[in-house]
Amino acid sequence: MSGDLGSLGADATPDQILCHVDMDCFYAACERLREPALEGQPLVVGMGYESAETHGAVATASYEARAFGVESAMAISEALERLPRKVEAARDPDLDVEEAGFYRPVDLEYYDDVAADVKAVLHDAAEVVREVSIDEAYLDVTDRVVWGGDDVSDDDVGDGDPHPVETFARSLKERIEAEAGVVASVGVAPTMSAAKIASDYDKPDGLVVVEPGEVRDFLAPLDVAEIHNVGPVTARQLREMGIETAGDLAAADPEDVREAFGERGLAVRRYARGEDPREVTPVGEPKSLSRESAFTEPTDDGERKREKVRALAADVAERAQREGALYRTIGIKVVTPPYDVNTRAESLPGPVDDPDLLESTALDLLAEFAEEQVRKLGVRVSKLDFAESDQASLAGFEGRSSGTSDGETTDRATTDGERGASAEDEADGDEAGEETGRAEPDPEGQRSLWEYE
């Protein structure tokens, strides 16, 4: 947003610069990543769905599938009535193959692997990251960017100079697509609630910046249901009071709002006015730390692979020391073409901080893939211990044991900043109840990382 939009008053937190990153149709995007032929096709990902069956529910639908009326949380049987499977349409003369789509079952472990790639970018881009689900997160980038300024390339920003926020956000989107293979929409604003709305404003592949002084005018024309903590019941009640938009709610008599909805009503009225004092705070300690890096082209060069693992191991070891983390498990991730994810890990007898052990273990695990074409490599430590104690090393341990007899763990790869926490609104202390906006399924149909911990 741009222009002179300050007529409705200043915002409460003009100094904060917050980003909300929201992946576009994340489950569908992941399926397309490993099956490129699905790009541009109507695609439905079903929870509890199996190939050729009719049971289950829609977890997410691509934008192409939504054009046929398929929606999140819809029964697969109903979705099939609106959008038949391609394979069946090709065999049935009464069906038009051009009005049919593809169906895939949910694969949470795979989606989590892709989410790990996204999270690695986010944690590298910002010191303060709050993950709220598998496909969205908030970033506080106040110390890294500035409001205003022209959107310029990274090369045009001098060393040590803060980036204009739009340049930063655009670069963040480009990095996510380049390193994780999926597309994100990003909203930037001085408040968490406005940033979240901004990320949804121009989907897919959107980038919307709402600067201080613009927030109330940005929110004013939006449907009241889009305001933070306004669920379907409250939205209906507000409309019955003649309050249709955020601007209507912002201008409403506070006593009328209090009488109808109590203190919670006053809280959502403040959100509609652009007043949101919440700060982006990480939730809990990270459960693992990792670094990943892709080759420009897949390679089977053993020394190139080992060099990359050494560099990644050094980065992970440095971060673990910086955060005061000891680790009990060392693992690697190896991505082979087209996008097959392989994880291996070894467990240690106790928590350590030992960069040499980290490097040697990662290289030992890599040996299994010596002859493989490799697209991307990652190094990870997990089962972290943040207790205040002297740092431990390999000395003092007699040996190490693998996660399974052959050194392969069946655990999914968990990476930077994975948190176990309550949902966003509960953690923030909002009076949520029905009115968190989650009374109906999330439009993207995603589950949070910690839901299937």
- Using a pLDDT cut of 90, give the percent of the chain over it: 59
Rounded to whole angstroms, the Cα distance separating 31 from 16 reads 36
Give residue 444's pLDDT. Answer: 47
pLDDT-derived band of residue 249, with 50, 70 and 90 as boundaries? very high
pLDDT at 409 over 50: no
Q: How many other CB atoms are found less than 10 A from the CB of residue 205?
A: 12
Taking only the tens place, the pLDDT of each residue in 417-437 is 333 333 344 333 333 333 333
The pLDDT value given to residue 3: 34
pLDDT level of residue 387 (50, 70, 90 thresholds): low
**Confidence tier at 386 by pLDDT (50, 70, 90):** confident
Characterise 76 by phi-psi region: left (phi > 0), alpha (psi -120 to 50), beta (else). alpha
Instruction: Tell me the sheet residues that pair with 207.
Output: 186
Grade residue 349 by pLDDT with cuts at 50, 70 and 90. Answer: confident
- Domains of the chain plus CATH, in order, are 26-107 (3.40.1170.60), 288-402 (3.30.1490.100)
pLDDT given at position 152: 54
> According to the per-residue pLDDT averaged within each range, which of 49-58, 155-164, 238-247 is highest?
238-247
Active site residue ranges: 136
DSSP string covering 265-297, please? HHHHHHHHTT---------S--SEEEEEEEEEE
In this predicted structure, what is the pLDDT of residue 166? 96
Q: Is 255 helix (H, G, I), strand (E, B) or coil?
A: helix
Count of CA atoms in the C-beta half-sphere (13 A) of 134: 28
Q: What share of the chain is helix, strand, coil (3-state, %, to 5)?
A: 40, 20, 40
Mean pLDDT of 269-276: 95
Q: Which two tokens stand for residue 416?
A: 């930077």
d(CA 290, CA 277): 32
Handedness of CA 169, 170, 174, 177 (dihedral sign): positive
For residue 149, the model assigns a pLDDT of 67
Q: What is the pLDDT of residue 150?
A: 62
Higher pLDDT, 324 or 199: 199
How many Cβ atoms are within 10 Å of 168's Cβ, its own excluded? 26
What pLDDT was estimated at residue 410? Answer: 31
Show the CA angle centred on residue 246, arms to residues 244 and 252, nearest 5°. 80
Q: Are 138 and 192 a contacting pair, CB within 8 Å?
A: yes
Q: What is the pLDDT of residue 321?
A: 87
pLDDT of residue 364: 96
Name the pairing type of β-strands 145-146 and 163-164: parallel
Residue owning tokens 């990251």: 129
Average pLDDT over residues 114-128: 91
Mean pLDDT estimate for the chain: 82
Looking at residue 46, what is its pLDDT? 94
What tokens does 343 get? 């994880």
Q: How far apart are CA 120 and CA 417, in angstroms?
A: 9
Q: Exposure of 240 by Cβ count < 10 A (0-12 exposed, 13-18 middle, 19+ buried)?
A: exposed
Please answer whether residues 312 and 353 qualify as being in contact, where contact means their C-beta atoms are separated by less than 8 angstroms: no
C-alpha neighbours within 13 Å on the C-beta side of residue 421: 22
Burial 63-94 (b: 16+ CB within 10 A, else e): ebbbebebbbebebeebbebbbbbeebeeeee
| pLDDT above 90: residue 447 | no
Binding site listing for Mg(2+): 22, 135
Residue bearing the bigger pLDDT, 270 or 450: 270
> What mean pLDDT do residues 351-360 have?
93
Please give the pLDDT value at position 9: 39
Core vs surface per residue 340-374: b (16+ CB within 10 A) or e: ebbbbbbbbeebbbbbebbbebbbbbbeebeebeb
The rounded distance, in Å, linking the Cα atoms of 70 and 58 is: 8
DSSP 157-212: SPTTPPEEHHHHHHHHHHHHHHHHS--EEEEEESSHHHHHHHHHHT-SS-EEE--T
pLDDT score of 140: 96
Helix (H, G, I), strand (E, B) or coil at 342: strand
Q: What is the pLDDT of residue 242?
A: 96
Name the nearest CA neighbour of 346 among 359, 224, 425, 337. Answer: 359
Going by pLDDT thresholds of 50, 70 and 90, the confidence category of residue 109 is confident
- Which one-letter amino acid corresponds to residue 381? V
How sure is the predictor about 1, in pLDDT bands with cuts at 50, 70 and 90? low
Rg (CA), the chain: 24
pLDDT given for residue 293 in this prediction: 86
Strand 288-299 relative to strand 374-385, pairing: antiparallel
Helix (H) and strand (E) counts in the chain:
14, 15
What whole-number percentage of the chain has pLDDT above 70? 79
pLDDT in tens, 218-239: 999 999 999 988 988 999 999 9
Give the least confident one: 1-15, 29-43, 65-79, 170-184. Answer: 1-15
Say yes or no to pLDDT of 162 above 90. no
Question: Band of the pLDDT at 153, cuts 50, 70, 90?
Answer: low
Is residue 260 pLDDT above 70, yes or no? yes
- Given this model, what pLDDT does residue 160 score? 60
